[in-house]
Amino acid sequence: MKKFLLTIAAIVFVTSSAFAERYVMVTHGEGNDPFWPVVQKGGEDAARAIGADFEYIYNPSADMADMASSIQAAAATQPDGMVISLPDPDSLGAAIKAAVAAGVPVITMNSGLESSASLGALMHVGQPEYLAGQSAGARAKAEGATKALCMIQEAYNTALVDRCEGYGEAVPMEFTDTTSDPATIQTRATAALQANPDVDAILSVGPHVCDAVSKALDDLGMTVHHSCF
């Protein structure tokens, strides 16, 4: 009897595992931004809570064609749902539309609020980035900022551009393309600050950008109004 019950339990376990829902998350993070491991853990924790399988795919480069290919490949496996960041709707839109057309439910997140619904996504998880930038700029101006640099690690990312441009409504600013590599960020930030000695404010639109820019400021002995996302 005991052996029979163990056999039944094993069958139930295997059967439930075989029919577990499976979700795939595809993001544009290149693996060196500390923001994305937190997102990945959130997906893993959520999947564990509902007993689902979960796969996380991060884009291996800044090339949006690579990310579109990852979306297409993941959709072809017919997961029960996909969560996709949307930094460049023009480059990724076709792949997302194709996934939706194939019957895969899609939720966009982080970037792409304005384009999400038109691509067929069920919903978007994120904030209005332009408004967030406006709020940061208004506060910086109220605290004395008059001229700024916006340190942006992904120039193709509409959400980050929106943050910078929203900030620029209150404080005149120029873009500095830092890339996403921490060492390069610090080097480019240092060069930009040296080339613009009248700058009294900086907006860093990512956590690792914030850290690298802070190091550049310390090395230069400069004090400016520094806002970070």
Please report the pLDDT score of residue 5 as a whole number. Answer: 34
pLDDT, the chain, mean: 92
- Does residue 14 belong to any structural domain of this protein? no
- Does residue 152 belong to any structural domain of this protein? yes
Please report the pLDDT score of residue 191 as a whole number. Answer: 98
Pull the structure tokens for residue 68.
């579109």
Please report the pLDDT score of residue 183 as a whole number. Answer: 92
- CB environment 137-146: b (16+ within 10 A), e (fewer): beebbeeebe
- Residues of the chain under the 70 pLDDT cut: 1-18, 31
User: Can you give the pTM of this predicted structure?
Assistant: 0.83
- Does residue 2 belong to any structural domain of this protein? no
Name the domain boundary from 107, 125, 143.
125
My answer on whether 135 and 50 are in the same domain is: no
- What are the residues facing 227 on neighbouring strands? 203
Distance CA 15, CA 111 (A): 37
My answer on whether 98 and 154 are in the same domain is: no
AA letter at 152? I
- Does residue 10 belong to any structural domain of this protein? no
Contact 97, 120 (CB under 8 A): yes
* DSSP letter for each residue of 29-94: --S--THHHHHHHHHHHHHHHHT-EEEEEE-SSS-HHHHHHHHHHHHHT--SEEEEE-S-HHHHHH
Counted residue by residue, the chain has a size of: 229
My answer on whether 108 and 145 are in the same domain is: no
- Does residue 9 belong to any structural domain of this protein? no
Q: For residue 221, give the CATH number of its domain.
A: 3.40.50.2300
* DSSP letter for each residue of 128-181: -HHHHHHHHHHHHHHTT--SEEEEES-TT-HHHHHHHHHHHTTS-EEEEE--S-
My answer on whether 104 and 175 are in the same domain is: no
Count how many domains the chain has. 2
Please report the pLDDT score of residue 18 as a whole number. Answer: 55
Who contacts 12 (Cβ-Cβ below 8 Å, separation ≥6)?
none
Tell me the residue range of the domain where 57 lies: 20-125
